Each structure stands twice: as C-alpha cells, then as structure tokens.
Amino acid sequence: METRRRKILAAGGAAGALALGNLAPLRAQARRKLRFGVGPLLPSAEDTKKTFMPVFAHLARELNADFDLVATTDWAGMAVAMGSGQVDLAWMGPWGYIIANNSTGCTAVATAKYDDKPVYYAIIIGKPDLKVAKFPDDTKGLSISFADVGSTSGWLIPTWYAKEVWKIDPKTYWKYTEGATHAANEIAVQAGHADMATDFDRNRNAMIASGRIKADSNKILWTSAPLPNDAIAVPKDAPKEFGAQVQKILTAITVEQAKTLLPPRYTGFVAATHASYDSIEKAGIAVGKIKPKS
C-alpha cells in the first residue's frame, strides 16, 4: 500500500511539474506590449518623450507589460493616433482628447494634477512695454500668434472667448497667425516677432524656470477661467478592466512618487470621465470644430 501511495504521489508530482512547465511559456506569451502616446507637452518631441518616460514605464510595470512610447509634435497628431488605432493609451491635451472622443469614442480615465490641482489656465502674453488697460479693446490691430488648432489653451479657448465673450473675429481684429507651438509663441514675443501670443500658465512657468525665457520678457494680458488638465485616455474598444486598472494605478501615485515619475510640479492624477471635459466639448461645438453628438 505504501509503495502504491508513493507511486501515485510521484506521478502527481510529475504531472504538476509538467503542468507548471507548460504554464511558464504561456505566461511569457501572455505578456503584452502596449503602445503609449504623449502630446507636445515640452518644446520638442525628444524632450517630451525623455521626460515622461518614467511614468509610462511605471504604468507598464504595474500592468505587467512591455511598451513603446511615441511623442507627437502637435496636439492634433495625438488625436489622429488614437483614432487610427496606433495607441492603446494616450496622454492628451483636453481639446485633443475631445477631438479624438468626438471622432473615435475614446474615454478619459484620469486627469493630471499640476501643483496638486487638476486645472490650469489659458493665457495671452504680450510685450512687456505694451500699454493695455482693457483687454482686448486696447490691442486691436496688434500682431498675435495662436498655437495649432489642436491646442486647448493656445487655440480653442481664446477662439471661444473671442466669439462668445469678446464678440470679435480674431483673424480680422488682430494681425493673426496660427499653428505655432507654445514654446515658439513665448520665444516670438520675447524676440519681438509678435506683439502677443497664446500660451498656458504651466508652460510659461516651466520655460521661465528652465531659463528658456526671462520672466520680464513678456507679461500676461489675459487669463481664462480654470480648465481641466491633460487627459489620460483609452480607446473606445479597450476592455473596461484595462481602463479601470490604468485609473487605479495612476491615481495611486503619491506626491512623493510623482517627484521621480513625473516632471517638476506634476503631483499625480485624479480619476476622470468624459464629463470632466464637458466645458471643453461645449467650446468645441460653439466654434464649429465638432458637432454635437446625437
């Protein structure tokens, strides 16, 4: 009886070893490769990719996945990447997210925090010697550089304010150009190539801190109401479990962890849904760039 029991246990052990042996390659095969994307948050795509790599690497580790990271040179490019199935997750500007959502149905799962706040501000800067008591009244006829049409703060919001609040056509009210990066806008005003330019407070602060522009090289002429910070979004066909996992991992990042995972002054994430970007969607509809969903 004892001999028979030993044989059974030995057989069971062999079967277990065989099962585990077969499971190991299956586990290896199950490790997926995710495609992450990030928009032009810094002056160059190379800078953006290098600076934001740690947080995407952290996300991939927590998801037990390998990953590739691409950085686009404009906000609209990230929306196109999401719409064409080139990315599994993207860090998108608010307007870029709304454009992508409107055309592809992708969904926001988190909003970035900057200085521990999930909001930021669009601004219009001007030469330091400009005398502007009332904006925009005292700026008629001056030159202004808007950012690319995929930018929330650099194009959408100032365009919406012009239409709905100031009741002007920016293209005729000012000597108007568009399509620049935020960094180029700051430098254009500093160099005297433009009287005014659009930007957002975070970028201006970062460029001053890095020495790329001088604090007194321009002044803020106008500031918007609070806007939701950048969105982390997943495609429409992404499993709900994936979106929930991403949200849980990102919102669990502490302020201390953010010091090593995120660029300076980014402090983590808050949970988000599409409704978090309702104000951006309404602005997009108002300026005629997207259509209301039926």
Domain ranges of the chain: 32-117+228-286, 122-225
> What span, in angstroms and rounded, lies between the C-alpha atoms of 103 and 109?
18
Look up the CATH number of domain 32-117+228-286: 3.40.190.10
> What span, in angstroms and rounded, lies between the C-alpha atoms of 154 and 200?
7
Angle between helices 94-104 and 75-83 (to 10 degrees): 30
**Mean pLDDT of all residues in 221-232:** 97
According to DSSP, the residues that pair with 94 across neighbouring strands are none
State which H helix or E strand residue 147 sits in: strand 143-147
> What span, in angstroms and rounded, lies between the C-alpha atoms of 95 and 112?
14
pLDDT digits (tens, 9 = 90+) for 47-84: 999 999 999 999 999 999 999 999 988 777 787 888 78
**Percentage of the chain modeled with pLDDT above 70:** 89
- Mean of all residue pLDDT scores within the chain: 89
pLDDT digits (tens, 9 = 90+) for 87-110: 999 999 899 899 899 988 999 999
pLDDT computed for residue 43 by the predictor: 72
Distances (CA, A) of 130 to 37, 82, 127, 225: 39, 41, 6, 23
- The four Cα atoms 220, 226, 232, 236 give a dihedral, to 10 degrees, of -120
Read off the pLDDT band of 44 (50, 70, 90): confident
> What span, in angstroms and rounded, lies between the C-alpha atoms of 48 and 54?
11
Which residues are within 8 A (CB) of 4 and not within 5 positions of it... i.e. 6 or more apart? none
The radius of gyration of the chain from alpha carbons, rounded to an integer in Å, stands at: 24
**Mean pLDDT of all residues in 249-260:** 98
Identical fold between 32-117+228-286 and 122-225: yes
**Residue 17, pLDDT above cutoff 90:** no
Which residues are within 8 A (CB) of 182 and not within 5 positions of it... i.e. 6 or more apart? 40, 147, 151, 153, 154, 198, 199, 200, 203
Q: Hey, is 281 helix, strand or coil? A: helix
**Mean pLDDT of all residues in 256-277:** 96
Distances (CA, A) of 170 to 125, 141, 196, 284: 15, 10, 12, 16
Nearest one of 226, 289, 273, 245 to 96, comparing CA atoms = 289
State the DSSP string of 47-83. Answer: HHHHHHHHHHHHHHHHTT-EEEEEE-SSHHHHHHHHH
pLDDT computed for residue 30 by the predictor: 61
Q: Hey, is 151 helix, strand or coil? A: coil
> What span, in angstroms and rounded, lies between the C-alpha atoms of 50 and 69?
10
Residue 192, CB half-sphere, CA atoms under 13 Å: how many?
1
Q: Domain 122-225 classified CATH 3.40.50.620?
A: no
**Residue 130, pLDDT above cutoff 50:** yes
pLDDT digits (tens, 9 = 90+) for 135-146: 999 999 999 999
**Mean pLDDT of all residues in 180-197:** 96
**Residue 215, pLDDT above cutoff 70:** yes
pLDDT computed for residue 238 by the predictor: 94
